[in-house]
Structure 1
Amino acid sequence: MSLQNAYNSVKRALSTAPPNDAYLQWNAPGVEDPKPNEKETAQKIGQTMNKMQQHNFDQHGHAFRATHVKTQGIVKGKLTVQPDLPAHLQQGLFKSPGRVYHIAARYANEPVFLQADQEPGPRGMALRVFNVEGQRLEGADPDATTQDFFFNNAPMIELTDIDTCLEIMELREKYFDSPTKLSAATKLRTDAVKQSAPAMLPNTNMISFSFYTQSAFRFGDYYGHMALFPMLDDMKNHAEKVKSSDSREALRDWLIEYFAEHGAKYEFKIQLGTSPEHHPTENASVVWDKATAPYQTIATIEIPPQNALSAERRTFWEDRMKLSPWDALAEHQPLGSINRLRKIVYEISRKKREAANATPLKTVNSVHEIP
């Protein structure tokens, strides 16, 4: 037994959480607890996001997404469901062990502006899975055959919940042109330590990052957090930090250089929740303890060597692709207020991009539509 496993065993023995395999139904009492004014709050967040999109448009003459503005790489590959997947994990798009899906993914910086890569901060990955079958969520595109997942390189999100999200987004919009003033205002908050956490993330080659959904999703009968863990033999070779003397586009350049010669592989894993107290959906800043919700492998993702950022691929994804965790299978319904607000905010952001760029977004149902 490894030291980490021994440590987790001790934590598990001391925990008051239900047994690790006592998986809770996704719609059990307490899993979600919506507030009565959430739609109004989400509308305010969307309007604030639109203001930040307008700031970017005024500076660059182009409307970007409301967050994850800066594209670093776009790749295609395949997702293979684990051949020996246990019955309790055969849910949603993972219901057929050994099934292979085409996928496409976009690596990006999370901030709401075109951040220089010397600046540390959250990094994200948007993942689209194609040729997905099953009942779709109410309001989802009935003709779509895709499933979107969104990941960041931290297991929690400092935005916490819908009310905190509004407060932080209003600060980011107010001080859009002054990171120094934004930092000063953030430090006055009671959750200042939490809000400063993203700046402490490692600023290294994105190929070395683990990525997390941060928020919870329905997983068939149950609910959980999902994550991607890189399977690199030479991880240490990609741990170099971006230096002040490096290019403003260092992360992009490193990804392009890597995928020109190498492929990537990720383990796709899930933590299944057993209680709202220990594995909450409404407070997305809580990291689920691996001792009480151990990660279980459900698939692998393989990405072959390729041109990770051709001009055609970048402009197609940025200006034609629309993604949403709510345009999805019913068995992977987003949970918690951070996810519920996305249903409204993503649509508001999409309409702003379409109008400002005079370019309609489209439903992309085949990986072959992407250049």
Structure 2
Amino acid sequence: DYKTAYVARGAHAKAHACVRAWFNVNHYIEPSLRHGIFVKPGQQYKSWIRFSNGHFDLSVSKDQKSDARGMAVKILEPPGEPLQVAANHVPTQDFLMTNSPVFFVRNIADYNALVAKPEALLGFIFSGWNPFQWRIAEMFLAKKTLTPPPVSLLAPQYYSITAYKLGPHNIKFSARPCPGQEINSVMDETDPDFLHNNLQQELEAGEACFEFMVQLQVPEKNMLIEDPTVEWMESDSPFIPLARITIPSQIFDTAEQMAFCENLSFAPWHALPDHRPIGQFNRIRQHVYPASSNYRHTHNQTRVPADIAW
């Protein structure tokens, strides 16, 4: 099914960058929220962040196309043993996010129908001749998810979409640009890699930052675990900042670092027990992500980097 001999990731195939970042836990955190990465207020972690386009096909990866955009955070030396560790990898805590608060597929059966022919989104929406079986709601959600590009990867708010644990709590997490952060980039209609190039220019000019936040499930509200098409409304449960992500000024645009980025493995189950993924999609991801990563690296004759320290 691939258009080249190279096997890319099954989703978020195009990486714009992998950048070094500090993940700084806030100095004050409500005691009931001190779990996992956040167990020690004021703790500072080194991390990698991978920014990406959502599409699975590298041949249609022009940044001007409507798509999801991803932000995946890999925290180094977490305080404990994760539920999964990638082959040839060191333990990390990964937080995977995209720039939409919802997914456009509500259950595993629909997801299987989509991935069977991922290039045929219209066929997934309008399946068969019976209008009552058409996935009209999913069509509007797909339109909300597959949006025109931002002018900068530092501009959107990113969301976990699916739910996780934070100790005893059910939560979703999110990263949003720090208040007052200015974005002066513009979209280059002629450059298929303008998001990559804009980010390099922005980080050569100075640092950037995001607030990392969690949103607690309120059981009596419409905040479902098993259906990621339902948005958890901030009016029902506001996001609570727990950490600040600081991306220092740096140069990431080298062949060596982009190759390193391509071979990194990110997965929701690279997670401490206190950040356990929950819900039907995360249960499937527990098995799909390592299998997909192993296949990709075996086919490409590459390995997940053993040394990711900086």
The whole-number CA distance in structure 2 between the counterparts of 1:195 and 1:171 is 16
On the 8 A contact 2:81/2:91 being kept in 1, the answer is no
The answer for the alignment partner of 1:220 in structure 2 is 167
Alignment map for 1:249-260 (pairs within 5 Å): 249-260=193-204
Change (3 A) 1:262 1:155: same
The whole-number CA distance in structure 1 between the counterparts of 2:22 and 2:13 is 25
Change (3 A) 1:73 1:141: closer
The answer for the alignment partner of 2:73 in structure 1 is 127
Match of 1:350 among 287, 293, 299: 293
The answer for the alignment partner of 1:89 in structure 2 is 33
Indicate the SS of the match to 1:346. helix
The answer for the alignment partner of 1:367 in structure 2 is 309
User: Letter of the aligned partner of 1:218 in structure 2?
Assistant: K
The answer for the alignment partner of 2:57 in structure 1 is 113
The total of aligned residue pairs comes to 298
User: Letter of the aligned partner of 1:169 in structure 2?
Assistant: V
On the 8 A contact 1:215/1:225 being kept in 2, the answer is yes
Residue ranges of structure 1 left out of the alignment (5+ in a row): 1-50, 176-181
* 1:314 maps to 2:258: yes
On the 8 A contact 1:80/1:301 being kept in 2, the answer is yes
CA deviations over 1:310-369 (Å, ceiling 9, x no partner): 2111101212x22222122111110111111111111221122122111222455x432x
The whole-number CA distance in structure 2 between the counterparts of 1:267 and 1:346 is 27
1:147: Cα distance to partner?
Answer: 0.3
Indicate the SS of the match to 1:80. strand
Change (3 A) 1:352 1:135: closer
On the 8 A contact 2:165/2:277 being kept in 1, the answer is yes
Match of 2:11 among 57, 67, 80: 67
The answer for the alignment partner of 1:185 in structure 2 is 123
CA deviations over 1:203-243 (Å, ceiling 9, x no partner): 431111111111111101211000001126354634x4x46
TM-score by length of 1: 0.75
On the 8 A contact 2:85/2:92 being kept in 1, the answer is no
CA deviations over 1:56-92 (Å, ceiling 9, x no partner): xx42x32211111001111102111110111011111
1:144: Cα distance to partner?
Answer: 3.9
Alignment map for 1:5-44 (pairs within 5 Å): none
Change (3 A) 1:340 1:234: same
User: Letter of the aligned partner of 1:184 in structure 2?
Assistant: L
1:192: Cα distance to partner?
Answer: 2.0
Residue ranges of structure 2 left out of the alignment (5+ in a row): 127-133
User: Letter of the aligned partner of 2:199 in structure 1?
Assistant: L
On the 8 A contact 1:117/1:251 being kept in 2, the answer is yes
On the 8 A contact 1:80/1:299 being kept in 2, the answer is yes
The answer for the alignment partner of 1:22 in structure 2 is none
On the 8 A contact 1:225/1:272 being kept in 2, the answer is yes
The whole-number CA distance in structure 1 between the counterparts of 2:98 and 2:115 is 18
The whole-number CA distance in structure 1 between the counterparts of 2:234 and 2:38 is 22
The whole-number CA distance in structure 2 between the counterparts of 1:65 and 1:170 is 16
The whole-number CA distance in structure 2 between the counterparts of 1:141 and 1:353 is 13
The whole-number CA distance in structure 2 between the counterparts of 1:183 and 1:359 is 31
The whole-number CA distance in structure 1 between the counterparts of 2:204 and 2:150 is 21
The whole-number CA distance in structure 2 between the counterparts of 1:362 and 1:222 is 33
On the 8 A contact 1:124/1:152 being kept in 2, the answer is yes
Write 1 or 2 for the structure with the bigger share of helix: 1
The answer for the alignment partner of 1:79 in structure 2 is 23
CA deviations over 1:141-200 (Å, ceiling 9, x no partner): 79843101101011111123322211221231xx3xxxxxx3532442323222332233
The whole-number CA distance in structure 2 between the counterparts of 1:187 and 1:363 is 42
Indicate the SS of the match to 1:280. coil
The whole-number CA distance in structure 1 between the counterparts of 2:16 and 2:65 is 14
TM-score by length of 2: 0.89
The answer for the alignment partner of 1:169 in structure 2 is 115
